[in-house]
Amino acid sequence: MYNKTITELAQGLRSGEFSSVELTAAFLDRIKQHSGLNAYISVTEDLALQQAKAADARLANGDAELLTGIPIAQKDIFCTEGVKTTCGSLMLDNFIAPYNATVVEKFNHAGAVMLGKLNMDEFAMGSSNETSYYGAVKNPWNTNTVPGGSSGGTAAAVAARLAVCATGTDTGGSIRQPAALCGITGLKPTYGRVSRYGMIAYASSLDQGGPMTRSAEDAAIMLQTMAGFDDKDSTSVDTPVPDYSAGLNNRLDGLKIGLPKEFFGEGLNSEVAATLETAIDEYRKLGATVTEISMPTLKLAIPAYYVIAPAECSANLSRFDGVRFGYRCENPADLSDLYTRSRGEGFGKEVKRRILMGTYALSAGYYDAYYIKAQKIRRLISEDFKKALSEVDVIMGPVTPSTAFGIGEKIGNPIEMYLSDIYTIAINLAGVPAMSIPAGFAQGLPVGLQIIGNYFAEDRLLNIAHQYQQVTDWHQQAPAGF
Ligand code: GLN
């Protein structure tokens, strides 16, 4: 039952093989059994069973949708009415959101069952899920290694079959990097495709929610529910949502794939590179042509991102002041003490580092030298993507330089941690969509292949991913013991 796709589960629910209440109870049991992974921050058992009951009623009435009765979970960055929403931080440990994020609202409307809220790096800042106030998440493929971050709880839960599928968010790689390290499928949509309303902001010009699933077929179904214009989000784009499942079976003859030489040079683990070459060969067999391209500005992505993202986060996180939301220090002496201690005690080390970097980059004396410069680089990176994607249909490359690293291995060295996202960050700066799909193993751990497409070409990416998943079974493999 745990290995079934959304479509197969939907059939099981309709044929009476199992009810949503039974399915939900089975997943809740599994979550308890594997609580050692620390994938969930909150398990909403009562709510899940209540939603499952309602779903069973809808199924009986014949007005169910594909996701009705399917147990999913939300990254704990999405506000959920009446349910604790922590964003992985002590700052919001006591925060009960008064409203639902648009994404949550859409899943509720579809009748999906929410099992709970998933662990994540604090305020989505991290690449290993070790910055969470609620502790590190373990990678089910090897519990001594990290699941990636910031959507590490989501990736671990989906890989370990503790939810059928779940949401993630991606500011610089947080859907794709954990998807790669946990051997699942993750899609970061075009900026503006999925509403950010009620998704706690990290860096607003980069943040984008998306599906994390076991297959491209399931990702198409999830994205169908998540995507669409939202007048509550001023950066939501009003462009029609295509049928993401319709083109999954299109053939790939004549597909033009570009491989940026900057993606395959120094820094990429040789076993990961060899695994990716085999995956790209598979695409040749499917009828694609492969050419080497060059994107010279890719190397500027990390420095530009680590000015822009902290700058935006320093502004976004100013709202957590001990007055309006969440954590408040005890017995403040005066207002200034209230602000300083509430923020000093409520935020973790990495979040503080980002706020300090961002405030510095935005300060009057340094604004032009850092922030404006980074924005100019961002433009150059976007131009590089536009040019490349006018020559080829999609760009392929690694998601991560290596497979999952050990818990504790990089947490003391922020620069090394930041380099985990070297292949994902430029995509957010450009705003184009990209996927990570399971492409094999190196050193016994999953390797992800990244597929990057043009603005709003999510349907094409899903088609390309699905075709690969028809001729390979990497995406169907489960970690031992799960
Ligand atoms: N690891 C990157 C960061 O810490 C990306 C995180 C994300 O995409 N949310 O900023």
Give the helix/strand (H/E) hosting 188.
strand 185-188
Residue with tokens 């929410």: 114
- Domain residue ranges of the chain, discontinuous segments joined by +: 6-254+393-476, 302-372
For ligand 1, say whether the CB of 425 is within 6 Å of any of its atoms.
no
Cα separation, 149 vs 182, in Å, equals 10
- Which amino acid belongs to residue 272? V
418-431: burial string, b at 16+ Cβ within 10 Å, e else? bbbbbbbbbbbbbb
Q: Compute, in angstroms, the gap from residue 172 CA to the centroid of ligand 1.
A: 5
For ligand 1, say whether the CB of 350 is within 6 Å of any of its atoms.
no
Cα separation, 95 vs 381, in Å, equals 38
Q: Compute, in angstroms, the gap from residue 284 CA to the centroid of ligand 1.
A: 32
Render 40-65 in DSSP notation, one character per residue.
Answer: EEEE-HHHHHHHHHHHHHHHHHT---
Identify the pLDDT of residue 327.
96
- Which amino acid belongs to residue 243? D
For ligand 1, say whether the CB of 174 is within 6 Å of any of its atoms.
yes
Q: Compute, in angstroms, the gap from residue 125 CA to the centroid of ligand 1.
A: 5
For ligand 1, say whether the CB of 172 is within 6 Å of any of its atoms.
yes
Name the burial class of residue 265, with classes exposed (0-12), middle (13-18) and buried (19+) by CB atoms within 10 angstroms of its CB. exposed
Identify the pLDDT of residue 325.
85
Q: Compute, in angstroms, the gap from residue 121 CA to the centroid of ligand 1.
A: 9
Q: Compute, in angstroms, the gap from residue 356 CA to the centroid of ligand 1.
A: 16
Identify the pLDDT of residue 1.
87
Cα separation, 184 vs 80, in Å, equals 25
Please say whether the beta carbons of 39 and 137 come within 8 A: yes
Instruction: Give pairs for 380-383: CB < 8 Å, separation 24+.
Output: 380/297, 380/300, 381/297, 381/298, 381/300, 381/301, 381/304, 381/426, 381/429, 381/430, 382/429, 382/430, 382/431, 383/297
- Looking at the DSSP bridge assignments, the partners of residue 258 are 291, 395
pLDDT tens sequence for the chain (482 residues): 899 999 999 999 999 999 999 999 999 999 999 999 999 999 999 999 999 999 999 999 999 999 999 999 999 999 999 999 999 999 999 999 999 999 999 999 999 999 999 999 999 999 999 999 999 999 999 999 999 999 999 999 999 999 999 999 999 999 999 999 999 999 999 999 999 999 999 999 999 999 999 999 999 999 999 999 999 999 999 999 999 999 999 999 999 999 999 999 999 999 999 999 999 999 999 999 999 999 999 999 999 999 999 999 999 999 999 998 889 999 999 999 999 999 999 999 999 999 999 999 999 999 999 999 999 999 999 999 999 999 999 999 999 999 999 999 999 999 999 999 999 999 999 999 999 999 999 999 999 999 999 999 999 999 999 999 999 999 999 999 99
For ligand 1, say whether the CB of 88 is within 6 Å of any of its atoms.
no
Identify the pLDDT of residue 383.
98
Strands 40-43 and 113-118: antiparallel
- Residue from 352, 421, 427 to probe ligand 1 pocket by mutation (most atoms less than 8 Å from CB): 421
For ligand 1, say whether the CB of 105 is within 6 Å of any of its atoms.
no
Instruction: Work out which ligand 1 atom sits closest to the CA atom of 125.
Output: 4
Q: Which two tokens stand for residue 112?
A: 């999906």
For ligand 1, say whether the CB of 119 is within 6 Å of any of its atoms.
no
Instruction: Work out which ligand 1 atom sits closest to the CA atom of 305.
Output: 10
Strands 71-75 and 165-169: parallel
The full length of the chain comes to 482
* Among candidate residues 109, 129, 102, 108, the one with its CA nearest the CA of residue 118: 129
Catalytic residue annotation: 75, 150, 174
Q: ∠350-355-360 over CA atoms, to 5°? A: 130
For ligand 1, say whether the CB of 428 is within 6 Å of any of its atoms.
no
Between the alpha carbon of residue 387 and those of residues 263, 381, 391, 395, 454, the distances in Å are 17, 10, 7, 11, 10
Q: Compute, in angstroms, the gap from residue 114 CA to the centroid of ligand 1.
A: 25
| List of residues 6+ apart from 329 with CB closer than 8 A | 322, 337, 338, 341, 342, 344, 345, 346
- Residue from 76, 128, 202, 450 to probe ligand 1 pocket by mutation (most atoms less than 8 Å from CB): 202
Would you report the helix, strand and coil content of the chain in percent, each value rounded to 5? 45, 15, 40
Q: Compute, in angstroms, the gap from residue 458 CA to the centroid of ligand 1.
A: 21
Q: Compute, in angstroms, the gap from residue 21 CA to the centroid of ligand 1.
A: 36
Question: Which alpha helices (H) appear in 135-267, and where do they start and end?
Answer: 152-159, 176-182, 216-226
- Residue from 118, 146, 171, 306 to probe ligand 1 pocket by mutation (most atoms less than 8 Å from CB): 171
CA 148 remoteness from chain centre = 10
For ligand 1, say whether the CB of 122 is within 6 Å of any of its atoms.
no
Give the orientation angle of helix 301-316 with respect to helix 373-391, to 10 degrees. Answer: 120
For ligand 1, say whether the CB of 127 is within 6 Å of any of its atoms.
yes
For ligand 1, say whether the CB of 24 is within 6 Å of any of its atoms.
no
- Residue from 75, 118, 121, 355 to probe ligand 1 pocket by mutation (most atoms less than 8 Å from CB): 121
Please say whether the beta carbons of 213 and 220 come within 8 A: no
Please say whether the beta carbons of 297 and 330 come within 8 A: no
Q: Compute, in angstroms, the gap from residue 51 CA to the centroid of ligand 1.
A: 32
Residue nearest to atom 10 of ligand 1 (CA): 125
Q: CATH assignment of 6-254+393-476?
A: 3.90.1300.10
- Which amino acid belongs to residue 340? T
For ligand 1, say whether the CB of 309 is within 6 Å of any of its atoms.
yes
